[in-house]
Structure 1
Amino acid sequence: MTITSHYKATITQLGPDVDGYILDEMDGEQQRQPRCVLSKRAAASALGLKSEGGSALWRTLSRQNIGSEIDENLRKKIDNPIVFKYLGTGSESGGPGVTVHGIETSTFIEILRAILKAKLTETQKFLAQRAQDMLIALANTTLDSIIYQESGYWKTIEGQRVADILDKYLQDHARKWAKTFPDEFWVKLIKVKGYPSYVALNRPAFVGHWVNDIVYDRLVPCARRKLDKINPRLPAGYRKNKHHQHATEDYGLPELKAHLIKVMAYMDAAANDTQFMRMLNRGTPKFGDTYEMPLDDVYN
């Protein structure tokens, strides 16, 4: 098995010499959810251990007082580092690559926690301080998120990722109109919702719910009731036409664009999602099912 990385970044939150990598390719195939790793040397440096190739880390973790806090599963991961090729940009990209021995970020976090539980000697206590400092630095994020961001990986794949999410999770009428959304809308949406990138979403289906809530439920009164009336489900359970086939270009799209301008203004002004939704609900409330408007006036 050949594992390859094309993305590398210095993780300054852990130290000036701590390199993180994204294992984005395996046997020549791109990985949809690539693993993040630290090199052995980087892991040692993060803990203040100096050695060539990170061997000091393995020696330290093998000492009885720390080793007793390392279970069999963690020990197996420590003793079997991931061997991969880093193919960087520039001069490195045309060569055979650099061989790196690394550990997954989740394994590194387990090591930090094991160190904090161990009964350390006086000369080892600096390890506990370093472990505690790093866990605090990562309290509001994940090590993977930092590596994705700093290496440029998110920026590279963001466009395709958003397209995949929208295609899978938006309803038919929403998907059609979403193609007219400006790129900045998606950037602002994920930011105001508290995520650094769409790649960080554990539940991509949230995007469909957000768009329905923020846009479509506030765009046209009774739109869903109207669509259900003119395009009902057949006894077999499916509809004769797609919902978006009943949206008009001359009415629906201009209304959508005007609505998005207001929504993005609220996103810019809000400090967080709670504040954003408060502004949105005040300025552009949702049309409830009890809204009194003749259905024939909703769509022509």
Structure 2
Amino acid sequence: MSEKETMIYSHYRAPISQLGEGVEAYVLDEIDGQKQDRPRCVLSKRASAAALGLKSEGGSAFLRTFSRKGVGSAIDENLRFKIENPIVFKYLDPGSELLVHGYETSTFIEVLQALMKARRTGDLAPSQYFLAENAEMLLVALANTTLDTLVYQETGYWTVVEGQKISDILDKYLVDQARKWAKTFPDDFWFKLIKTKGYPSYLALKRPSFVGHWVNDLVYDRLAPGIREKLNKLNPRTDSGRRKKMHHQFTSEAHGLPELREHLVKVMAYMDVASSDQQFMRMMNKALPKFNTTYEMPFDED
């Protein structure tokens, strides 16, 4: 890499067991010193070769294999360009830097699909059949998810950015002192909530204001009779439409917070055992039903 070239860095690396033993992936989260909102996921050349059952030092067999007759005829010009021009980046391991050549996960999936097509059209040489068989097994293993999702999860990237994303949502949609309020709820509550509602990540939540409505529904509506009406009177909206404090600030250590924490434990238990949001809500409505009250929504909509 010269100084004039784009500097690409990864701070996240992990093995992806669904692709085989020792197959590692990276998240390219920094380019020219700028953190990326939607970083690319990549497999090294070595990992790409190993996932397909190719053995070589540095993954050179990957490029060599797709340059040969038979399988090479299944690779179109666009995919061939990607294979011949891997992404060069540095993985920043604590105390060291590792230069890596790799391919985007989308390119790797294209390769698997090309191998399947080559088998259907009879373009593979007999010695290349195993590549299509391995490609089929890999695609089956990824049938219920995306490779990017696995990489984000296994590398720990989502865990880091989720925390910031949740904080941003609370700051915007749960108004004042949201960070302090978030500490009243266990961190697990937020991760369990988004999964129960059918989203892989808070990054995938198109309407973050839903979070406020979910909290109203699962917590304040079910905690105690009339609690939200009481909180609305104690903590009214100002002329600007905002509230001076968060509702939880009107609870006490002796009365309120213990009940709130106990309630959250029960809610998270139902999140754990429910197989869908529908089942979760049926459990909630049966075990922790809403109290019959009428009130304004205490959280802002977008």
Aligned-pair CA distance for 1:269: 3.8
User: Residue 110 of structure 1 aligns with which residue?
Assistant: 110
Q: Does the CA contact (< 8 Å) of 1:9 and 1:147 recur in 2? A: yes
Q: Does the CA contact (< 8 Å) of 1:7 and 1:151 recur in 2? A: yes
User: Residue 172 of structure 1 aligns with which residue?
Assistant: 175
CA distance in 2, matches of 1:179, 1:257: 11
Aligned-pair CA distance for 1:103: 0.5
User: Residue 123 of structure 1 aligns with which residue?
Assistant: 127
User: Residue 240 of structure 1 aligns with which residue?
Assistant: 240
Matching residue's letter, 1:52: E
> Alpha carbon RMSD of aligned pairs, Å?
3.6
Give CA-to-partner distance per residue, 1:185-230, whole Å, 9 cap, x none: 123323434566545x354625445334433454565958x969x9
User: Residue 3 of structure 2 aligns with which residue?
Assistant: none
User: Residue 43 of structure 1 aligns with which residue?
Assistant: 48
CA distance in 1, matches of 2:75, 2:226: 60
Question: What does 1:128-139 align with in structure 2 at a 5 Å threshold?
Answer: 128-139=132-143
Q: Does the CA contact (< 8 Å) of 2:23 and 2:50 recur in 1? A: yes
**Structure 1: gaps spanning 5 or more residues:** 234-238
Tell whether 2:63 aligns with 1:58.
Answer: yes
**Structure 2: gaps spanning 5 or more residues:** 1-5
Tell whether 2:215 aligns with 1:214.
Answer: no
TM-score for both structures, normalised by structure 2: 0.76
CA distance in 2, matches of 1:157, 1:104: 20
CA distance in 2, matches of 1:107, 1:190: 29
Q: Give the secondary structure class of the aligned counterpart of 1:62.
A: coil
Matching residue's letter, 2:98: V
CA distance in 2, matches of 1:45, 1:204: 40
Q: Does the CA contact (< 8 Å) of 1:2 and 1:84 recur in 2? A: yes
CA distance in 2, matches of 1:178, 1:46: 42
Give CA-to-partner distance per residue, 1:205-263, whole Å, 9 cap, x none: 25445334433454565958x969x9789xxxxx5341465947148964654542432
Give CA-to-partner distance per residue, 1:124-144, whole Å, 9 cap, x none: 111111111111111122222
User: Residue 151 of structure 2 aligns with which residue?
Assistant: 147
Question: What does 1:149-298 align with in structure 2 at a 5 Å threshold?
Answer: 149-168=153-172, 170-172=173-175, 175=178, 177-193=181-197, 198=202, 201=204, 203=206, 205=208, 207-218=211-222, 223=228, 239-243=239-243, 245=245, 247=247, 249-250=250-251, 254=257, 256-257=260-261, 259-286=263-290, 291=292
CA distance in 2, matches of 1:159, 1:283: 30
CA distance in 2, matches of 1:137, 1:71: 25
Corresponding pairs, count? 279
Q: Give the secondary structure class of the aligned counterpart of 1:9.
A: strand
User: Residue 98 of structure 2 aligns with which residue?
Assistant: 98
Q: Does the CA contact (< 8 Å) of 1:172 and 1:244 recur in 2? A: no
Judged with a 3 Å threshold, the aligned counterparts in structure 2 of structure 1 residues 232 and 5 are, in CA distance, closer, same or farther, namely closer
Matching residue's letter, 1:282: K
Q: Does the CA contact (< 8 Å) of 1:227 and 1:243 recur in 2? A: no
Aligned-pair CA distance for 1:276: 1.5
Q: Percent identity?
A: 57
Q: Does the CA contact (< 8 Å) of 1:174 and 1:244 recur in 2? A: no
CA distance in 1, matches of 2:61, 2:165: 40
Aligned-pair CA distance for 1:152: 3.0
CA distance in 2, matches of 1:292, 1:98: 60
TM-score for both structures, normalised by structure 1: 0.76
Matching residue's letter, 1:32: D
Q: Does the CA contact (< 8 Å) of 2:237 and 2:243 recur in 1? A: no
Judged with a 3 Å threshold, the aligned counterparts in structure 2 of structure 1 residues 40 and 223 are, in CA distance, closer, same or farther, namely same
CA distance in 2, matches of 1:99, 1:76: 21
Question: What does 1:70-81 align with in structure 2 at a 5 Å threshold?
Answer: 70-81=75-86
User: Residue 21 of structure 1 aligns with which residue?
Assistant: 26
